[in-house]
C-alpha cells in the first residue's frame, strides 16, 4: 500500500478529473446554506433557481447555444440514453439506428439492447486510425433510420470523428443526429449555433466539475420526449429535483474550460507530446493507437509490445501512476478493448495497450517522473513475460 509520502501522478483524466478548487468554492454555499429547492415559490428557492439559470448560461456560452437548449441530467449515460429514446419514442415507425463500432458502452449497449428488441442497427466500421468513412455513413442512412449517434472524441484513443460533416449529412437526409461529446466538451472548440447537431451529450466530471451532473443539448427545432417523467423540472424535459450544487459547479467548470481552451490545446498538448515522444524514444516497439493529429490534445493510447496492460497497471499503481487499460467502465474485464479491435489491432496489441490522459492540472514535472518510471516497469514486465526473471 502507498506510504504517507506517496505521491500520485494522475494521468487518467478521460476516466474522471479532479475538482477544480474554484468549482468547489462555488458549490459549497449550495451544499450548506443555499439548500432551497429551485422550484419553490419563496425567495429562498428563487435564489437557487437564479444560480441554476446562471450555470445554464455559463454552459451555453461554452457550447455556443441558447441556455434554453440545455437539460441538466445525472450522468453521460442518461444524456446518451435520453437522446436515443426520444428519437425512437417520437417516431415509432423508424426502427433503424446508425452508430459506430467504437462507441462508449452508454451508446453501444443501448443499441445492442434495442437490437434484441427488434431494431436494426448499422455499426459503422473504422479504419486503422480509428476514423469512420463518411460515405459509409451516407450509404447507411435509410428512410426508416430513427437516429444516427456518433461519438465525437473517442474516450480510449482520443480520435476525433468528423462530427460537423456527419451532422450535415444527416440533416440533408432528414435524419436526427446525436453526438456523444462527453470527452470533447472543454477540450476542443464547439459552436452549436453553426452546427447541424440535434442532440449533444456532455459530462461535467470530465472537465473538473463534480460527478453526478451532466447535460444534454437539444436543438430548439428538434422535438424531445422526456426520458425521466415526473415533476416539470428542466422546462418539462427532465423530471427530478435539480442537483443544484453540482449544476452550479458545472457552470463554473464550463466557464473555466472556456477560459482554458487554448491552454488545453497548447499546454496540455505539450504535456501529452513530451510524454508520448519520451516513451517512443526510450522504449522500443511502442506504437500510438489512433490518428496522430485528428485526436484530442490530452490523450495518448500506446501499444507496448510484450506487456499485458493489466499487469502493467498493477506495477504503475505501486509507483503511484494512474492510467487506464481500455475505458474505465470496462476495466477489470479481460476482453480486449472493442475500440482497438475495431481498428484492426490484434488481441495481443489491444491487451498491451495503455491510455494516458492529461489535464491542465498536470505538470511537466509529473511527466518527467513518469518518463523515469514507465520505461523501467516495461523492461521489468517484458523480462518477466519472456521468462528471464523466472529463471
Catalytic residue numbers? 329
* Among the listed residues 75, 88, 250, 354, the single contact to ligand PLP using CB under 6 A: 75
Query: How far from the centroid of its chain's Cα atoms is residue 36's Cα?
Result: 31
Q: Minimum distance between the CB of residue 16 and ligand PLP, rounded to whole angstroms? A: 8
Q: Is 334 exposed, middle or buried, given 0-12, 13-18 or 19+ CB atoms closer than 10 A?
A: exposed
In three-state form (DSSP H/G/I as H, E/B as E, the rest C), the secondary structure along 327-338 is CHHHCCCCCCCH
Task: Determine how β-strand 120-124 pairs with β-strand 145-151.
Answer: unpaired
H-assigned helices in 91-217? 105-116, 134-140, 163-173
Contact letters for ligand PLP, residues 306-345 (x by CB under 6 A):
-----------------------x----------------
Q: Which residue is nearest to ligand PLP (CB)?
A: 76
Rounded alpha-carbon distances, angstroms, from residue 227 to 78, 84, 112, 238:
8, 10, 19, 7
* Span from 37-45, 51-59, 178-186, 346-354 in contact with ligand PLP (CB under 6 A): 178-186
208 binds ligand PLP (CB under 6 A): no
231 with 239: CB under 8 angstroms?
A: yes
Helix (H) or strand (E) holding 374: helix 364-385
- 48 vs 84, which CB is nearer to ligand PLP? 84
360 binds ligand PLP (CB under 6 A): no
CA distance 128 to 137: 17
99 binds ligand PLP (CB under 6 A): no
Rounded alpha-carbon distances, angstroms, from residue 169 to 148, 160, 195, 303:
10, 17, 12, 34
76 binds ligand PLP (CB under 6 A): yes
126 binds ligand PLP (CB under 6 A): no
113 with 141: CB under 8 angstroms?
A: no
- 183 vs 359, which CB is nearer to ligand PLP? 183
Q: Minimum distance between the CB of residue 117 and ligand PLP, rounded to whole angstroms? A: 21
104 binds ligand PLP (CB under 6 A): yes
* Among the listed residues 99, 155, 233, 324, the single contact to ligand PLP using CB under 6 A: 155
23 binds ligand PLP (CB under 6 A): no
| 346 grid coordinates | 490484434
* Among the listed residues 151, 160, 197, 254, the single contact to ligand PLP using CB under 6 A: 151
* 73, β-bridge pairs: 214
CA distance 205 to 211: 5
* Span from 71-79, 166-174, 314-322, 382-390 in contact with ligand PLP (CB under 6 A): 71-79
* Among the listed residues 99, 157, 198, 203, the single contact to ligand PLP using CB under 6 A: 203
The binding site for ligand PLP (CB under 6 A) comprises 75-77, 80, 104, 106, 151, 155, 180, 182-183, 203, 214, 329
Amino acid at each position: 500500500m502507498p506510504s504517507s509520502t506517496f505521491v500520485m501522478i494522475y494521468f487518467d483524466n478521460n476516466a474522471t478529473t479532479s475538482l477544480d478548487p474554484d468549482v468547489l468554492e462555488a458549490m459549497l454555499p449550495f451544499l450548506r446554506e443555499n439548500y432551497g429547492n429551485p422550484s419553490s415559490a419563496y425567495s429562498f428557492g428563487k435564489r437557487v433557481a437564479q444560480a441554476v439559470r446562471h450555470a445554464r448560461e455559463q454552459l451555453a456560452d461554452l457550447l455556443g447555444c441558447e441556455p434554453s437548449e440545455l437539460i441538466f441530467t445525472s450522468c453521460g449515460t442518461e444524456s446518451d440514453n435520453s437522446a436515443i429514446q426520444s428519437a425512437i419514442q417520437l417516431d415509432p415507425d423508424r426502427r433503424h439506428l446508425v452508430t459506430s463500432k467504437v462507441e462508449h458502452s452508454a451508446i453501444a449497449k443501448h443499441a445492442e439492447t434495442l437490437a434484441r428488441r427488434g431494431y436494426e442497427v448499422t455499426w459503422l466500421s473504422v479504419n486503422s486510425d480509428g476514423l469512420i468513412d463518411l460515405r459509409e455513413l451516407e450509404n447507411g442512412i435509410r428512410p426508416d433510420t430513427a437516429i444516427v449517434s456518433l461519438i465525437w472524441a473517442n474516450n480510449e484513443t482520443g480520435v476525433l470523428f468528423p462530427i460537423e460533416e456527419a451532422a450535415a449529412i444527416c440533416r440533408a437526409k432528414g435524419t436526427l443526429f446525436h453526438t456523444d461529446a462527453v470527452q470533447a466538451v472543454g477540450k476542443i472548440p464547439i459552436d452549436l449555433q453553426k452546427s447541424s447537431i440535434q442532440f449533444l451529450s456532455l459530462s461535467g466530471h470530465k472537465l473538473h466539475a463534480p460527478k453526478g451532473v451532466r447535460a444534454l443539448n437539444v436543438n430548439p427545432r428538434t422535438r424531445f420526449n422526456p426520458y425521466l417523467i415526473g415533476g416539470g423540472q428542466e422546462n418539462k424535459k427532465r423530471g427530478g429535483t435539480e442537483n443544484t450544487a453540482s449544476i452550479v459547479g458545472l457552470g463554473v467548470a464550463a466557464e473555466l474550460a472556456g477560459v482554458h481552451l487554448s491552454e488545453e490545446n497548447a499546454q496540455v498538448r505539450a504535456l501529452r507530446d513530451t510524454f508520448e515522444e519520451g516513451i517512443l524514444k526510450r522504449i522500443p516497439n511502442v506504437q500510438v493507437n489512433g490518428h496522430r493529429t485528428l485526436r484530442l490534445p490530452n490523450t495518448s493510447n500506446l501499444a507496448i509490445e510484450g506487456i499485458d496492460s493489466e499487469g502493467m497497471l498493477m506495477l504503475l499503481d505501486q509507483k503511484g501512476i494512474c492510467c487506464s487499460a481500455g475505458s474505465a467502465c470496462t476495466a477489470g474485464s479481460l476482453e480486449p478493448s472493442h475500440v482497438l479491435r475495431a481498428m484492426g489491432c490484434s488481441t495481443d496489441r489491444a491487451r498491451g495497450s495503455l491510455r494516458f490522459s492529461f489535464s491542465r492540472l498536470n505538470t511537466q514535472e509529473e511527466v518527467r517522473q513518469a518518463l523515469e518510471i514507465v520505461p523501467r516497469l516495461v523492461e521489468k514486465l517484458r523480462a518477466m513475460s519472456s521468462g528471464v526473471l523466472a529463471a
